[in-house]
Amino acid sequence: MSKIGFIGMGNMGYAMLSGCLKQFQAEEILFTDVNTERMSNVTLSTKVRHVDSNAELANNVKYIVLAIKPQYFSSVLKNIENVVTKDHVIISIAPGISREDIKDSLGYDARVVRAMPNTPALLGEGMTGVCYDSTLFTYEEKEVIASIFKSFGKFRIIEERLMSAVTCASGSSPAYVYMFIEAMADGVVKHGLPRDVAYEMVAQTVAGAAKMVLETGKHPGELKDMVCSPGGTTIAGVAALEEEGFRNSIIKACDACYEISEGFKRK
């Protein structure tokens, strides 16, 4: 019998599975997906076995990772409701779907872990918000849960009421960072820098700036001020960004993301 099973093998499911292979043997992992060609390709590249149905997977693992979008939850939970028991640990990565929602759908007091990872998990640099009732799990189970999320990056335990905010902070925000990198590259290509050089320089700068925040402990505003010489190039750029509503645009993006995430609760 395998230990961890993934239902869904999209970008996020694959990123998590790839990370888990650093902590667990391929024989300890199982997965399934609606796309049979996708399953074959993933098995070929990872040596992880796949099965043909959600129920079969649930019947052969202890930890079930629901790596699916919210709109598919109803049908997937229906597939496994007669198979899962209180011995299972269910891990959900869907935005807006609460632990209580999952318990209600399954019809019993299931033990549910809710998480919001992000796609940098594919490189072992993910950031995941995790919430669960620690009183419901053994020490060994909590160790496995931690091992799963540490296998593809960092994680923080967060109150469930804050999970939509986590979606904004780390779940969706890589897309905004990629847009920033692309826009910066466009800006410097406009002034003659070759595009491949532009992408490399901007991306490394973003990575380095993020590391400065994480490792120095300094406030981002302080780090910004350290770059802004009086009357210099950087403060001129900062002023132009503020004139165009740069920070307000980011906050508005978070608002839009939050509203969609919260909206799943009401559907």
**215 and 238, same domain (yes or no):** yes
Domain span including residue 207: 171-266
**140 and 197, same domain (yes or no):** no
Last residue within a domain, chosen from 109, 138, 159: 159
**204 and 260, same domain (yes or no):** yes
50: in domain: yes
**58 and 140, same domain (yes or no):** yes
**117 and 216, same domain (yes or no):** no
Residue 187 sits in a domain of what CATH number? 1.10.3730.10
12: in domain: yes
What is the C-alpha to C-alpha distance for residues 170 and 88, in angstroms, rounded to an integer?
A: 27
**114 and 191, same domain (yes or no):** no
165: in domain: no
- The CA distances from residue 53 to 30, 74, 91, in Å, are 11, 15, 18
Residues 6+ apart with CB under 8 A from 128: 115, 116, 117, 118, 121, 149, 152, 153, 154, 155, 156, 170
**29 and 118, same domain (yes or no):** yes
**248 and 201, same domain (yes or no):** yes
Q: How would you write the pLDDT of the chain (267 residues) with one tens digit per residue?
A: 679 999 999 999 999 999 999 999 999 999 999 999 999 999 999 999 999 999 999 999 999 999 998 889 999 999 999 999 999 999 999 988 999 999 999 988 999 999 999 999 989 999 999 999 999 999 999 999 999 999 999 999 999 999 999 999 999 999 999 999 999 999 999 999 999 999 999 999 999 999 999 999 999 999 999 999 999 999 999 999 999 999 999 999 999 999 998 876 555
The interaxial angle of helices 11-20 and 36-46, nearest 10 deg, is 20
202: in domain: yes
Into how many domains does the chain fold?
Answer: 2
- Per-residue tokens: 122: 């594919």
Residue 143 sits in a domain of what CATH number? 3.40.50.720
Last residue within a domain, chosen from 159, 190, 224: 159
9: in domain: yes
166: in domain: no
Model pLDDT, residue 1 = 60
252: in domain: yes
Between CA 56 and CA 60, with CA 58 as vertex, the angle to 5 degrees is 75
**60 and 145, same domain (yes or no):** yes
**56 and 118, same domain (yes or no):** yes
Last residue within a domain, chosen from 134, 159, 184: 159
**143 and 78, same domain (yes or no):** yes
**183 and 260, same domain (yes or no):** yes
